[in-house]
């Protein structure tokens, strides 16, 4: 959470006071909640507290950290136009494609080893974990992110149909824009044998080799995606197999005058989610594997999410990308840190609100478990309906003062909410409020 100045903090505190007063004047106080006040005082990007609108099956918010973008192409919206190798966040795509093509059953055991060798030239492909050597089913392989398990699947695709993995990826929305209403999207790249033939000139480069399918199976080599494409895919996993069309504009409103409410001039309803044609029997073991990734002892992000009271499911990714940096060779690789997932895991409402999807990318950030996963947890914690402390705030802060008290006391509730949110984000225990 970025630091803010004392002046900015006072301004944000006043926003909460003003928001509470507007709510009291408009709707009364009997059903007022912390969530209501936060929504009314929704902050601009980069402010102390931001409320992210969300609706089931629709992605409404894009996050782009302005604190880190001052010197590094600040006009580039990385959420929609940044193109990155997805690393292991791609493995659920491969798992679904393999099961749909009957190349894999979720209970099949594949030996997870430190290395695997493929091709006529006996090329060695390494696992990120050099100490593992045990048979794994799909759920275990997703939880522990076993590379050699997915190398085997990639080789199965190479040996049967070298386009089918990519065709399923395209069906899941990769390699094309998501349809975001404001435009400005990159398509990313899903490499195919035909693409290699059109792109390169030498016979060696134009050939599709075993290594192309094998590295594609772990989200590496020529593959690139945008964060929004990945978020859309994980929303599909969360909602039971339907692709959503993200949008930012829901209504056009004319502001009210002299305290009156705004007038809605036009509404833009969301496009209905479209079934992706996934067999539920294939989807469910992938979902279980992503839950194990956040809760099993050896899950790659269980150290971040296992003790969080709201059940979260998701996948880490550590993707190598050539990054030009001063003083480094031209082919220097940096790790792009990913975590994508959703919560609550079972899709049920939490505090009466639907689940949300979070996809975090930290450019040149290192491992997914140490950079992106904690950043994703910050987003979940910042969502009032997915943070148990926020639920306690309603009862501890507001209810004792709404049943009785003067108008001025009720107006002060906005400041009280802000002060206690400030305490929460600084890691303090929930204090006993005093008005």
The pLDDT tens digits for 297-315 are: 999 999 999 999 889 999 9
What is the structure's pLDDT at 316?
97
DSSP H helical ranges for 355-394: 373-382, 388-393
Q: Is the pLDDT of residue 284 over 90?
A: yes
Name 253's Cβ contacts closer than 8 Å, sequence gap at least 6: 262, 263, 264, 265
Residues 121 and 207 in one domain: yes
Domain boundary among 209, 234, 259: 234
What is the structure's pLDDT at 334?
81
Residue 11 tokens, joined: 């301004």
Element (H, E) at 336: strand 333-343
Q: Given pLDDT bands bounded at 50, 70 and 90, which one contains residue 248? A: confident
149-164 tens-digit pLDDT: 999 999 999 999 999 9
Residue bearing the bigger pLDDT, 13 or 188? 188
Domain boundary among 173, 202, 234: 234
Residues 48 and 106 in one domain: no
Residues 183 and 95 in one domain: yes
Domain-located, residue 135: yes
Classify 110 as helix, strand or coil. strand
344-394 tens-digit pLDDT: 998 776 666 778 899 999 988 888 899 999 999 988 887 766 766 655 555
Say if CB 253 and CB 265 are below 8 A apart: yes
What is the average pLDDT across 398-413? Answer: 53
Number of C-beta neighbours around residue 126 at 10 A = 13
Residues 166 and 32 in one domain: no
Domain boundary among 215, 234, 253: 234
> So which residues are the catalytic ones?
88
What is the structure's pLDDT at 363?
85
Q: Given pLDDT bands bounded at 50, 70 and 90, which one contains residue 179? A: very high
For the chain, how many structural domains are there in total?
A: 2
Residues 93 and 223 in one domain: yes
Residue bearing the bigger pLDDT, 3 or 206? 206
């Amino acid at each position: 959470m970025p630091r803010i100045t004392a002046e900015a903090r006072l301004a944000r505190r006043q926003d909460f006071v003003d928001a509470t007063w507007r709510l009291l004047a408009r709707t009364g106080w009997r059903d007022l909640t912390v969530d209501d006040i936060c929504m009314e005082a929704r902050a601009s990007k980069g402010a102390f507290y931001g409320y992210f609108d969300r609706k089931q099956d629709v992605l409404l918010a894009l996050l782009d950290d302005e604190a880190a973008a001052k010197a590094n192409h600040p006009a580039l919206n990385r959420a929609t136009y940044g193109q990155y190798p997805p690393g292991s966040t791609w493995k659920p795509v491969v798992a679904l494609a393999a099961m749909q093509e009957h190349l894999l059953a979720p209970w099949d055991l594949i030996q997870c080893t430190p290395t695997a060798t493929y091709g006529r030239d006996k090329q060695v492909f390494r696992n990120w974990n050099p100490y593992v050597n045990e048979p794994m089913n799909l759920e275990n392989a997703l939880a522990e992110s076993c590379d050699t398990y997915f190398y085997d699947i990639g080789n199965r695709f190479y040996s049967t149909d070298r386009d089918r993995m990519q065709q399923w990826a395209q069906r899941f929305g990769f390699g094309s824009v998501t349809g975001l209403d404001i435009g400005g999207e990159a398509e990313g790249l899903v490499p195919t044998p035909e693409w290699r033939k059109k792109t390169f000139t030498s016979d060696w480069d134009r050939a599709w080799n075993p290594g192309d399918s094998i590295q594609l199976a772990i989200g590496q080599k020529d593959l690139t995606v945008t964060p929004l494409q990945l978020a859309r895919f994980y929303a599909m996993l969360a909602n039971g197999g339907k692709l959503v069309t993200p949008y930012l504009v829901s209504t056009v409103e004319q502001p009210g005058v002299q305290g009156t409410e705004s007038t809605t001039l036009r509404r833009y309803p969301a496009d209905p989610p479209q079934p992706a044609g996934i067999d539920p029997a294939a989807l469910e073991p992938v979902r279980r594997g992503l839950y194990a990734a956040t809760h099993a002892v050896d899950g790659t992000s269980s150290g971040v999410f296992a003790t969080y009271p709201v059940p979260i499911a998701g996948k880490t990714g550590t993707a190598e990308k050539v990054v030009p940096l001063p003083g480094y060779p031209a082919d220097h690789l940096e790790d792009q840190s990913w975590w994508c997932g959703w919560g609550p895991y079972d899709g049920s409402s939490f505090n009466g609100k639907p689940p949300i999807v979070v996809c975090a990318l930290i450019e040149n950030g290192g491992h997914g478990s140490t950079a992106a996963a904690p950043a994703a947890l910050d987003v979940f914690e910042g969502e009032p309906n997915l943070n148990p402390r926020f639920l306690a705030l309603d009862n501890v802060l507001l209810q004792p003062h709404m049943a009785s008290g003067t108008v001025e006391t009720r107006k002060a509730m906005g400041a009280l909410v802000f002060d206690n949110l400030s305490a929460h984000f600084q890691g303090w225990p929930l204090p006993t409020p005093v008005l």
